[in-house]
Amino acid sequence: QSALTQPPSVSGSPGQSVTISCTGTRSDVGSYDRVSWYQQPPGTAPKLIIYEVSLRPSGVPARFSGSKSGDTASLTISWLQAEDETDYYCSSYTGSGTYVFGTGTKVTVL
């Protein structure tokens, strides 16, 4: 199984919105509403911020939202803040009963 494709980096100014794409195939993203997003500050474990495409765990700000169209899922961070500057990964359940992660995206707050 190949990794899901994410842009290496995205950037935005404080208060703006940024969107990270996560492109897979019909065997994973395209067939299952089981896409998750993770935020990983340097030197720490990933943290779940979106699950089942668009649901937020308790405590995750509403500024984080997720969506999906076809084989591509997206994470949007609205009202960008300095603390959002870190790495983000998507993940999808697959038809093989396994999981695949995205290549990762670094968000930079200008």
Partner 1 sequence: VQLQESAPRLVKPSETLSLTCSVSGGSIDGYYWNVIRQPANGGLEWVGHVYSNGRTKSNPSLNSRVTMSVDMSRNQFSLKLTSVTAADTGVYYCARACCRDGGFDSWGQGTMVSVSS
Interacting residues toward partner 1 by CB under 8 A:
1, 3, 32, 34, 36, 38, 44-48, 50-52, 57, 87, 89, 91, 93, 96-101, 103-104
Minimum distance from residue 89 beta carbon to partner 1 (Å): 5
**Closer CB to partner 1, residue 13 or residue 44?**
44
**Closer CB to partner 1, residue 16 or residue 98?**
98
What is the per-residue DSSP string for 6-54? --SEEEE-TT--EEEEEE--TTTTTT-S-EEEEEE-TTS--EEEEBTTT
**Closer CB to partner 1, residue 82 or residue 97?**
97
Minimum distance from residue 97 beta carbon to partner 1 (Å): 5
